[in-house]
């Protein structure tokens, strides 16, 4: 095994947009700005321990077996054959994004943890090979090991999840001019709860439209065809159900489209919305007009403007 490092290692993993309208559980992309950091260090006390979590207001468990970062790190250490019986590992987590926001908060912690721990123990795995371990962390958040958020946070850019178990992920082309507006209303929606309300069956007609939209969106990304991207950013199945949980959804979506957005839908399980556009100025204008809707109903919100983050997770120190 490669030699271990003595100094603490801090990794950052970015926030992500999953589903991207028509691609429920199979499409995602990373953004700049919000995200999580995890610092991994060796300890004289045996075992893997989470010693601190900041930014979570005391709502996330320190028990590594119940925490997304802890589960992901344990999976990595087991696969690497790295024992913590004699020399333990401590994790410190800093949440730099809202919980229950639909921006992949749990995935960012999982990804940052495996990137940091992998580096700490001498990088036995390449970055791409860390994905299965990060996916294991999602079990703590949603009860299922889905890969759309974690793959985007790890690798950056747009990703397509062909299969979740084992994860089979394809990195897609990202047009240079593509910008994202994200608005996060100050409410929380738990992924587990938002999955419970989804219909178990869909009509063949809606399924066919959805398949066409997924194919159209991917084709639009590869050909830099922004009109095709806009015509494909329609969700026939998930958005009609989950949008009922988000105050002002219809009005915000209309404001985004009226402002020139290519498309607008729910980010992950919500309550955040995302809108894609072709310039930073347009993305800011879209955000201003979407925010005006929430101002009108007296609901506070966070606003993020970003190009698609094609870098993904990285080591800070």
Task: Give the single-character DSSP code of 162.
Answer: E
Interior angle at CA 304, CA 179 and CA 113, nearest 5: 100
Q: With contact defined as beta carbons under 8 Å apart, do 303 and 297 qualify?
A: no
What gap in Å lies between CA 96 and CA 101, rounded to an integer? 12
User: What Rg do the C-alpha atoms of the chain give, in angstroms?
Assistant: 19
Supply the angle between the helices 131-142 and 68-80 in degrees, to the nearest 10. Answer: 150
- Catalytic residue numbers read 138, 191
Supply the angle between the helices 131-142 and 148-155 in degrees, to the nearest 10. Answer: 140
Copy the structure tokens of residue 259: 């402002």
Pick the closest to residue 242 from 24, 45, 89, 11 (CA basis). Answer: 24
Distances (CA, A) of 53 to 92, 190, 195: 6, 19, 26
């Amino acid at each position: 095994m490669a030699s271990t490092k003595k100094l603490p290692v801090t990794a950052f993993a970015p926030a992500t947009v999953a589903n991207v309208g028509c691609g429920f559980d199979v499409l995602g992309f990373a953004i700049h700005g919000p995200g999580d950091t995890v610092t991994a260090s060796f300890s004289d006390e045996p075992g893997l321990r989470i010693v601190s979590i900041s930014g979570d207001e005391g709502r996330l468990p320190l028990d590594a077996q119940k925490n997304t970062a802890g589960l992901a790190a344990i999976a990595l250490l087991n696969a690497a054959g790295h024992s913590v019986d004699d020399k333990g590992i401590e994790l410190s987590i800093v949440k730099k994004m809202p919980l229950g926001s639909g921006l992949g908060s749990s995935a960012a912690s999982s990804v940052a943890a495996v990137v940091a721990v992998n580096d700490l123990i001498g990088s036995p795995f390449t970055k791409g090979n860390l994905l299965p371990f990060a996916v294991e962390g999602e079990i703590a958040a949603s009860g299922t090991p889905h890969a759309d958020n974690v793959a985007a946070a790890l690798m950056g850019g747009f990703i397509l999840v062909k299969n979740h178990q084992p994860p089979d992920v394809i990195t897609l082309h990202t047009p240079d001019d593509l910008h994202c507006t994200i608005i996060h209303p100050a409410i929380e929606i738990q992924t587990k709860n938002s999955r419970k309300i989804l219909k178990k069956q869909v009509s063949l007609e809606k399924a066919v439209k959805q398949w066409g939209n997924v194919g159209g969106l991917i084709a639009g990304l590869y050909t830099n065809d922004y009109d095709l991207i806009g015509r494909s950013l329609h969700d026939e199945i998930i958005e009609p159900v989950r949008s009922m949980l988000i105050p002002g959804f219809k009005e915000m979506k209309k404001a985004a489209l009226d402002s020139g957005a290519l498309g607008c839908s729910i980010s992950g399980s919500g309550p955040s919305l995302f809108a894609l556009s072709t310039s930073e100025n347009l993305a800011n204008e879209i955000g201003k007009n979407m925010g005006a809707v929430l101002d009108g109903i007296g609901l506070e919100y966070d606003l993020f403007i970003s190009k698609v983050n094609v870098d993904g997770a990285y080591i800070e120190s």
